[in-house]
Amino acid sequence: MIKLSPEQMENHLSRRDCLQLAAGTLLSGAMSPLVLGQDAGAAQRGLPTKTVAAVVTIYTRNSHSDVILGKILEGWEQDGGQGPALKLVSLYVDQFPDGDLARSMCKKHGVPIFDSIEKAVTVGGNRIPVDGVISIGEHGDYPYNELEQHLYPRRRFFEEITATFEKYGRVVPVFNDKHLGPAWADAKWMYDRAKALKVPFMAGSSMPVGYRLEPFELPLNSKIEAAVGIGYDGLDIYGIHALEFYQSYVERRVGAERGVTSVRFLHGPAMWKAVDDGIVSQAALNAAFAIVPKTGEPDVRKDENAGLFLFEYADGFQGALFMLKCVQGTSIGIKLKDQSTPLATAFHERSEPRYPHFAYLLKAIEQMIHSGKPTYPVERTLLTSGILDRALTSRSRRGELLKTPELAIAYQSVAYPHAPRPQL
């Protein structure tokens, strides 16, 4: 079983620490939708500017590189205003497609682009002068495997970043965008490599920290009887977002988190039989479906392209995540003990100003680079990466139930504020 050591546990910040570092960055109902981009600035928050190197697949408009690095270069709203207490000082770009912004943005802001990851991390020198590294392996021309996983070079990026750490004898925090891997063997390798070198390592989706419709807070050790999640679009590209959103809630249950013992992918009649037999909570599904934005068919059972990730946790809790084509969003329904009506919330994705939920992800990255400690456990993303990989493997094997002793991943959930409810 993978567990956090006492030393690693001490590295996680308390809720009070998180809120203090995030002070001045949260919304209030009377303010604009992104007061985060109008905060008083790093100096008034008492934060010195820290330097970062970035390693990316591509940098085009509205790519993940743009909506993360663009906020460092041009402010939270990417309008030239105040941004995080971070300074981008070097960049490695793997591909330069049509519409590339890397060259023009780096020329505008005086950031050198290097032709190797080692040079980017060392800023072309013979030491590591940066305070952190941001690795963005998302978007670009990369192959798919037989499981339909998009084989972004996240392991290669991390391998070269950490090889540079070893060569020059210094380790700094690293953030990996989205899931690890995406193949399980690569995800586990990245995690083990970070542990071996004692790299402060964080990864994941923007959804756990982004905007909510009908937000609610779950205290640690909540008595969750059932939870059903809903995601949409591609199983690999959006399945990880839905799993991260789901896990960020169910990890708050009593006794969590100790990992997952089995994973299965279902579709068609077998999927709805799991609901009718009570394996999956109909009430929690109804709540999740009611709140998520729809695109067409209002009857979820008529979604012919629906699929279900079904996974059992080590404590016996039943995980269930539907991937639907009749919705345009991500949600969760949660049935608490002694409460007749399930709670439900959905991720609220907005494109302006410039995908602002990524500003809240960047706040978490900023906090890690300033503190030298992960803002929340990378084990959450290791677990969701493993669930996704195993679900896609089960799908390729016609719904075979897969035992997953490798997913005995234990960690302690930590409190970190997500973006407040947006003005609609």
Tell me if 348 sits within 8 A of 256, measured CB to CB: no
Q: Are residue 172 and residue 221 in the same domain, yes or no?
A: no
Q: Does 167 reside within a domain?
A: yes
- For the residues 144-170, what does the mean pLDDT come to? 98
Q: For residues 72 and 51, is the Cβ–Cβ distance under 8 A?
A: no
What string of DSSP letters covers 163-222? HHHHHHT----EEEEB-S-SSHHHHHHHHHHHHHHT--EEEE-SGGGS-EES-----TTB
**Cα–Cα distance, 365 to 371 (Å, whole number):** 10
Answer yes or no: is pLDDT of 14 > 50. Answer: no
In a domain, 141, yes or no: yes
State which residues form the domain around 124.
6-209+354-375
Tens-place pLDDT, residues 185-203: 999 999 999 999 999 999 9
- 33 and 164 both lie in a single domain: yes
DSSP 235: T
Q: Is the pLDDT of residue 424 over 90?
A: no
Residue 30 CB neighbour total at 10 angstroms:
7
Q: Tens digits of per-residue pLDDT, 115-133?
A: 999 999 999 999 999 999 9
pLDDT of 245 reads 97
Q: Does some domain include residue 283? A: yes
- Edge-first strand order for the sheet with 307-313 is 212-213, 343-347, 331-336, 224-232, 318-324, 307-313, 260-267, 402-403
Total Cβ atoms within 10 A of residue 351: 10
**Residue 221 shares a structural domain with residue 338:** yes
Residue 35 reports pLDDT greater than 70: no
- CB 301: neighbour CB atoms within 10 A? 10
Which tokens belong to 299?
A: 């009857």
Give the pairing of strands 201-204 and 174-177. Answer: parallel
Length of the chain: 424
Residue 236's nearest CA partner among 360, 422, 390 is 390
Query: Residue 299 — very low, low, confident or very high, per pLDDT cuts 50/70/90?
Result: confident
CATH number for the domain that contains residue 80: 3.40.50.720
Q: Residue 352: is its pLDDT beyond 60?
A: yes
Using the Cα atoms of residue 314, residue 315, residue 316 and residue 320 in order, give the sign of their dihedral.
negative
Confidence of residue 423 (pLDDT cuts 50, 70, 90): very low
Q: Give the global pTM.
A: 0.89
Half-sphere CA count of 64, side-chain side, radius 13 A:
22
User: How far apart are the C-alpha atoms of 356 and 346, rounded to whole Å?
Assistant: 16
Is 144 domain-assigned?
A: yes
Is 358 among the domain residues?
yes
In a domain, 12, yes or no: yes
**304, 321: one domain:** yes
Which pLDDT belongs to residue 417?
77
pLDDT at site 42: 54
Gap between the Cα atoms of 361 and 367, Å rounded? 10
Percentage above 70 pLDDT, the chain: 88
Amino acid at 380: R
Tell me what the pLDDT averaged over the chain comes to: 89
The model's pLDDT over 42-56, given as tens digits with 9 standing for 90+, comes to: 544 678 999 999 999
Q: What is the pLDDT of residues 241-267, one digit of tens each?
A: 999 999 999 999 999 999 999 999 999
Please state the domain count of the chain.
Answer: 2
